[in-house]
A and B are shown apart, each in its own frame.
Chain A
Amino acid sequence: MSETIKCNHCHGTFNKKIMIEENALYFCCKGCQGVYHLLQDDGLESFYDKLGNKSIEPPLLTDFDSSKFDLESFEKRFVQTLDNDFKKVDLIIEGIHCAACVWLNEKVLYDMPGIIEANINFTNNKAKIVWDDSCVKLSSIIDKIRSIGYNAYAYDAKVADDKAIKARRDYFIRMMVAVFASMNIMMLSVAKYTGFFTGIDEETKHLIHIGEFILTTPVLFYSGWVFFKGAYYGMKNKIVNMDLLVSSGATASYIYSLYILFGGKGESYFDSVTMIITFVLVGKYLEVIGKKNAVDTLDKIKSQLPLEAVIIENNQKKVVALDELNVGDVIELRPGEKACVDGELLEEKATFDESSMSGESLYIYKNKGDKVFSGTINIDSLMHYKATSNFANSTLNSIVTMIEDSLSSKPNIEYTANNISRQFSTTILLLSFFTFIAWYFFEFKMGFVAQNASNFEQAFIVAVSVIVIACPCALALATPIASLVGISLLASKGLLFKEAKFIETIAKANKVVVDKTGTLTKGELKVVKAEFFDENSHKINLLHALLDSSTHPISLSVKHYIKEHYIVEHKQLLEVKNIQAKGVVATYKNEESKEYRLLGGNKELLKEFNIEFDLPISNTIYLFAVNEKVVAIFELEDEIKEDAKEFVQYIKQQGMEIIMLTGDNESVARKISQQVGITEFLYGINPIEKANYIKMLKEKGDIVVMVGDGVNDAVALSSSDVAIAMGNAADITISVSDIVLLNNKLKSLKEAFVISKRTYKFIKQNLAISLIYNIITVPLAMMGFVIPLVAALSMSLSSLIVVANSMRIKNEK
């Protein structure tokens, strides 16, 4: 039984034996210990009171070079200068999990001299920092944040961001004013309606009307302004929309109620005016906030883009910003780093991972003089290449421009709710008009309408009540509420929808196009077949030692396989030589000084050492030879992801067609598609051809969903109706996509379809409910049975039913 204890800093529970012990304190790592003491020294212990029992993440390990934050290119892109020479930057702080973390960061920053403002938003982790550049530099600010265990990086806050925040705030205030008025009016209405049944003084009724008038006026003119604007723009474009219905109904009711207030006989409809505006405004607000949340989360996911490169000038290393790179500069790339501009290789040999650009899963071997593409990753060792274009003209950048063009021409499908509300509004306005005519000219007398009112008054009340009862409350709430429930359900499964409307698009889609590498497959090579010609443990130990001496992914895969199937002993090798693009050779001497010549690599390596090998194998292979004899052959393949087959099956079951596109060669494409069950696939196509294929499908009238992850998918994604990006996708890909799959699992991709279809079903149900409701109530209104009491009740009831129905989306199917 192991005793577990909480770390004194991060409150994570771990086995007591592995903790760092210091007097009576326990820490899970040096990071926690360091930050704990720092907080004590700076007098910030109240952090732990605020933290309470919650636990946070241990401090992140970050690279401590923050000088790039002071570079001119960084400043140009991310920093704004305000009046009085203060500087402003927008950062995202990583590691924030609770309000205590927010408090700590703000406190520590404000305590720094020269900080004017440090405001951190808890919901989206965005921080706005304003500082005096003459007192403190941005790099020191970043260092300070890192010292207490968090990390910060800049993000490109578009100008639209600030405006969006103000717009949302504006909507919020208008909505709250309407809600405030509604609640107070309802209290007055209780008195009025009771009086309707038990009798009420004219004077008292008049008093109540005055109260209602005072509450309704701001609502109509301030909160209702949204609808007047919408109706105006609609009419300018000759469209009848819901805004017109709401604003005309509300205004007519208001004017009539004013007339009643100043001496007319009858009932006033002030409460209906307020309620219509409140319900419909709530629906609109829900739509507005739904949009912003997804975008915030995605800003958080984006990792840093490279901002600078290392060049060799006059035999000295120099760090320059990307914009300052010139054609002809000699650029240095460390292993694992991405090339930022196109160029020409200066080394004799190099290996590159071009999968994010071309989909090709095997590494590309290059010789001196070969082209180096921007966006590809250098694998093996430190190398140099000459830039042949600057950043603006590089392949990576040109893909970005192509995407921007695609996006601006992306059409939208006709959304069901918009269609319905247009026809609905026109119908109701017409019905109301006819009702007025019928009552005025043909003198109907029915229902509850005031007895002593004149013919004109009666006709007017009934006509207005038709509009009021049609109350698009339920209609206005139908889509937003269901969408909101749907989106939060999707988010809980790791699916981020940037906009609610994509729920409907996915539900209507009939073609699904998937990328192969990284989407259907894991994107890494794994051993699928191993053949041993001499299976003795000594040779296996030698193999393991040889594999250990290389960092090449193929070696790592084979080593993983060996470790899984055998127990190995470590052996010391001599004269280990890494031969680029071919493999590794080494020598081993045992106790009796017997020498073993070891070779591990591909066919070319064996050829170089004159070893015969003739078996025709199309997969990637790793051969191991000892003393000129082949001892083992390993075949490696890129594995398909779990649930890939189920996903393909599900799509087919739903009656949708699924097509696979890949830049890889035919044999690999055929093999993978057979494994997952896809019959239609295209291979060897480049990014532009992918995009053209999707455009062709759309021209035929298909609604296309595209799923991808590499930069090579980005152009195609931006041409599709709905673009889904896997969570590990490149930045560009994520930013052009409409939906992001946070956990890369194909099971979640299936959930995206299942939940979207379900939500859309409920949207249709809600619309049906609101229409049926109106089919029942409008005739009642036309016959004169509707008075303010009935109108108010029906509005609340219909809205409640729609909301309750939407909650059912969450119930397990």
Chain B
Amino acid sequence: MNDVLTMMLIVGLILSFTILGLFIWGAKSGQFDDTKKMMDGLLFDSQDDLNDAINRERKAKEAMKPKTKSLEKE
């Protein structure tokens, strides 16, 4: 009986701490700062919107590169 309890406790704790960790990651990256935008933004998940999101990240990353690229060329 207590073995079952122990196992459940361990699994339960691991799961909940994982979720807590995910929450902390989300909060730290600023996702929870603007609650209204977050809630309404959940509805904007069409194919186009998701593509837009990826493109923005890619664009930002590429913009950070040009300096290093031009240095390499030289």
Contacts and interface: CB of A to CB of B under 8 A. Distances in A.
Interface of A: 46, 50, 84, 86, 98-99, 102-103, 107, 110, 116-117, 120-123, 132, 165, 169, 172-173, 176-177, 180, 184, 201, 203-204, 207, 210-211, 214-215
B33 A203 contact: no
Nearest to B39: A99
B32 A172 contact: yes
State the 8 A-B residue pairs at the shortest beta-carbon distance, nearest first: A99-B40, A122-B37, A122-B36, A121-B34, A173-B27, A211-B9, A116-B63, A203-B2
Contacts of B34: 121-123
Contacts of A204: 1-2, 5
A775 to B, nearest CB: 38
Interface string B1-15: 110011001001100
B27 A169 contact: yes
Interface in B5-57: 5-6, 9, 12-13, 16, 20, 23-24, 27-28, 30, 32-37, 40-41, 43-44, 46, 48-49, 52, 56
Contacts of B73: none
Contacts of A215: 13
Interface string B46-74: 10110010001001100110110000000
Contacts of A120: 37
Given A180-B20, A211-B13, A84 B33 contact: no
Given A46-B48, A110-B52, 19 more contacts: A84-B63, A99-B44, A103-B41, A103-B44, A116-B63, A121-B33, A123-B34, A132-B63, A165-B33, A169-B27, A169-B28, A173-B28, A176-B23, A177-B20, A180-B16, A201-B2, A204-B1, A204-B2, A207-B2
A184 B13 CA distance: 9
B57 to A, nearest CB: 10
22 contacts: A46-B49, A50-B44, A86-B63, A99-B36, A99-B40, A99-B41, A103-B44, A110-B56, A116-B60, A116-B63, A121-B34, A122-B37, A123-B34, A132-B63, A169-B30, A169-B33, A172-B27, A172-B32, A176-B23, A201-B2, A204-B2, A211-B9
A43 B52 CA distance: 13
User: Secondary structure of the B side of the interface?
Assistant: helix
Given A84-B67, A116-B63, A211-B13, A50 B27 contact: no
Contacts of A211: 9, 13
A547 B13 CA distance: 82
Nearest to A110: B56
B20 A121 contact: no
A134 to B, nearest CB: 10
A172 B28 CA distance: 10
Contacts of B20: 177, 180
Contacts of B59: 110, 116
Nearest to A43: B48
A629 to B, nearest CB: 67
A117 B61 CA distance: 11
B62 to A, nearest CB: 10
Nearest to A52: B43
A784 to B, nearest CB: 31
Contacts of A201: 2
A85 to B, nearest CB: 9
A64 B60 CA distance: 30
A157 to B, nearest CB: 15
A207 B5 contact: yes
Nearest to A121: B34
Contacts of A107: 52
Contacts of A203: 2
Nearest to A168: B33
A103 B52 CA distance: 11
Contacts of A123: 34-37
Nearest to B16: A184
A86 B63 CA distance: 10
